[in-house]
Chains A and B, each alone.
Chain A
């Protein structure tokens, strides 16, 4: 086994004792925050505006809705406006499955589960939105198949205003609160805009392998923007 050989070689090069791991263990336990960009520290309204501005700057689109109930209609509108098929694959998340699809968007064919390669459009929830770069944080789990984030050409994401934080560090704090220290879901995806490539003469093309379109439905679920911010 090369493990001891490699560790031994490292220790010889560094002149270290094998028992010298307390510094490393302390850093993992404390996970100190470093410099957090000032731009992320705003009041709630400011953070939401920054999130939207940054997401739009990288070719995502954002629509603000007053309540979760408005999602089916907004989705139907979006698909119609872009002349997209009416087939929608939902993440198997009771909150999304329980929306009034039949009443508000009867023209859509809605199914839930992991992505089928032929699915044109997916709709998923999110764990957090990060204002500093307009980034979505999604993760795998029973309610979040990872394939939904990458296989379909159009990815629609329901993000609640209460899920928007200023900086990456705040999102990690929420992950630790939900999953415990040192543990993560199998996959955590930070998504910032739709798929792109610059591999041909450095001209940016959208939709290289992942979604061509990323549409964020931002739900105003906080009674009064401005209360209870963590970032400021």
Chain B
């Protein structure tokens, strides 16, 4: 997929003035957050499970080469084929080659972020194949020719009226006067349309939430069941997965699954969690005759051993964007590439370069909610800071920002001077603005004053007040506490008696 991350600022501006988008995003703010909180509260072990999930994935990444080899051996032992692909080009070529080898025409697809990363649909179309997305959200955005705006809820930027009008425009086989006001009617229509596609497809492509080294299995997690129909009806099943998806054992996969759905949708467990191991066995009544895994690196091996290794723990639950005030404001498309929100702000520069995606790590208030809810405890704000540092080192930041930072660093390294300067500023601004109580305009402050007034400082800095209040009261406080000691104890004891 071509990136528009360079124009993040313009994308964000457009998004902020899009009324439809505002309505759709307002809708998401409450739901995901409350559902996750409820699911986490219901499981006393949830926090310990997050630690465990982090540790499992850390161990796996430290031994990634070994687990990948063991995994691939198991896939082949089960009759499947592993296609090791260093780049997106290799992966796309491998998928097309498999489709050609069976004379495929229609290809159904389960939801896969790796397929988005490969821009697989465009590539299949360019090679004369017809890809059909089967996840309802993905299907809707495919009709609209849009990329997903969220990693687990790809059509979250749309309202049901928009979906209804797309369906009316594209599903011309149904009577024009049919009812499509309710979500249930839209779901039923999509079900009917896609049912035939599953049956017609020659190849089914899915992603993988996990790859299990112990058994050579790929795991998909869905609620709709579309992934299962996609991979069990056509004669060929292709899994597209990146190298960091591997986990050691069935127990390890289960342990991480316990935090995945709870973090993503607030479900205790997603409706369908399916393990696939190789093609149909001779005695099986159904299933695909061929099973292929496209194992994609695409820059991830370079993240290992770097300050961005922790990002490879990500299980794509979407909790970080569900809780992100910036995502809530601009939505997913503004980020300009496959992965939006905080995880995208860290991952995108790693995969397509900081030159292209340098704005994204800056699109954060560093409020820390993403890290607080990440089931894999990925230090997202810290890594965004690393990207900001790299952006600065490589002179990618605009001259005004650089000059400002250089000046700030000069003062920050000299605390006495810093306090003097800020004290002077507080005093002067305080004196100048005392009459009106606010500034409507200020030199160098247009970024703030263009949209709201700046309150006038009350004349002294925090450090000045702190110093003044700290010195005398601390001494006095100790003396008071010492004197009050026995009396307080007596009162506490009396309180306990009353309570009893």
Closest chain A CB from B440 CB (angstroms): 41
Residue of B nearest to A187 (CB): B276
Cβ contact within 8 Å between A14 and B305: yes
Which one, A66-74, A157-165, A208-216, A220-228, is touching chain B? A208-216
Residue of A nearest to B227 (CB): A209
Instruction: Kindly state whether residue A142 has any CB partner on chain B within 8 Å.
Output: yes
Cβ contact within 8 Å between B213 and A7: no
Which residues of chain B from 222 to 250 have a CB within 8 Å of any chain A CB? Answer: 223-226, 228-229, 232-233, 243, 248-250
Cβ contact within 8 Å between B271 and A21: no
Q: Which of B62, B224, B280 contacts A210 (CB 8 A)?
A: B224
Q: A13-B305, A188-B275 are in contact. Are A6 and B84 (CB under 8 A)?
A: yes
Which one, B9-17, B131-139, B465-473, is touching chain A? B131-139
In this complex, the interface size class of chain B, counting residues with CB under 8 Å from chain A, is 35 or more
Cβ contact within 8 Å between A186 and B155: no
Cβ contact within 8 Å between A187 and B275: yes
Residue of A nearest to B213 (CB): A28
Give chain B residues whose Cβ lies under 8 Å from the Cβ of A94: none
Residue of B nearest to A37 (CB): B45
CA distance A196 to B101 in the complex (A): 35
Cβ contact within 8 Å between B70 and A21: yes
Cβ contact within 8 Å between B250 and A31: yes
Cβ contact within 8 Å between B265 and A149: no
CA distance A49 to B396 in the complex (A): 61
Instruction: Kindly state whether residue A129 has any CB partner on chain B within 8 Å.
Output: no
**Tally of contacts, chain A with chain B, CB under 8 A:** 271
Q: A24-B70, A141-B283, A201-B27 are in contact. Are A147 and B232 (CB under 8 A)?
A: yes
Q: A6-B297, A13-B302, A197-B224 are in contact. Are A191 and B272 (CB under 8 A)?
A: yes
Instruction: Kindly state whether residue A18 has any CB partner on chain B within 8 Å.
Output: yes
Cβ contact within 8 Å between A27 and B287: no
Which residues of chain B from 246 to 265 have a CB within 8 Å of any chain A CB? Answer: 248-252, 254-255, 257-258, 265
CA distance A6 to B302 in the complex (A): 10
Residue of A nearest to B94 (CB): A2
Residue of B nearest to A31 (CB): B249
Q: A13-B305, A34-B56 are in contact. Are A185 and B285 (CB under 8 A)?
A: no
Which one, B182-190, B359-367, B441-449, is touching chain A? B182-190
Cβ contact within 8 Å between B65 and A18: yes
Q: A146-B228, A193-B271 are in contact. Are A28 and B251 (CB under 8 A)?
A: no
Give chain A residues whose Cβ lies under 8 Å from the Cβ of B62: 14
In this complex, the interface size class of chain A, counting residues with CB under 8 Å from chain B, is 35 or more
Instruction: Kindly state whether residue A98 has any CB partner on chain B within 8 Å.
Output: no
Residue of A nearest to B68 (CB): A7
Give chain B residues whose Cβ lies under 8 Å from the Cβ of A142: 283-285
CA distance A150 to B255 in the complex (A): 26
Cβ contact within 8 Å between A209 and B194: yes
Instruction: Kindly state whether residue B338 has any CB partner on chain A within 8 Å.
Output: no
CA distance A38 to B156 in the complex (A): 35
Instruction: Kindly state whether residue B324 has any CB partner on chain A within 8 Å.
Output: no
Instruction: Kindly state whether residue B153 has any CB partner on chain A within 8 Å.
Output: yes
Closest chain B CB from A95 CB (angstroms): 16
Which residues of chain B from 130 to 184 have a CB within 8 Å of any chain A CB? Answer: 134-137, 140, 153-156, 159-160, 163, 183-184
CA distance A92 to B283 in the complex (A): 12
Q: Which of B48, B271, B301 contacts A35 (CB 8 A)?
A: B48
Give chain A residues whose Cβ lies under 8 Å from the Cβ of B52: 34-35
Residue of B nearest to A115 (CB): B286
Cβ contact within 8 Å between A202 and B153: yes
CA distance A15 to B250 in the complex (A): 28
Q: Which of A10, A140, A151, A207 contacts B243 (CB 8 A)?
A: A10
CA distance A2 to B136 in the complex (A): 35
Instruction: Kindly state whether residue B69 has any CB partner on chain A within 8 Å.
Output: yes
Give chain A residues whose Cβ lies under 8 Å from the Cβ of B24: 201
Give chain B residues whose Cβ lies under 8 Å from the Cβ of A38: 44-45
Give chain B residues whose Cβ lies under 8 Å from the Cβ of A125: none
Cβ contact within 8 Å between A10 and B304: yes
Binding site for A on B (CB under 8 A): 24, 27-28, 31-32, 43-45, 48-49, 52, 56, 59, 62-70, 72, 74, 78, 82, 84-86, 90, 134-137, 140, 153-156, 159-160, 163, 183-184, 186-188, 190-191, 194-195, 198-199, 213-215, 217, 223-226, 228-229, 232-233, 243, 248-252, 254-255, 257-258, 265, 267-281, 283-287, 295, 297, 301-306
Given A3-B84, A10-B243, A92-B285, 18 more contacts at CB 8 Å? A10-B65, A10-B301, A13-B306, A24-B70, A27-B248, A28-B213, A37-B45, A58-B271, A115-B286, A142-B284, A190-B269, A190-B272, A200-B163, A201-B160, A201-B183, A205-B183, A208-B226, A210-B225
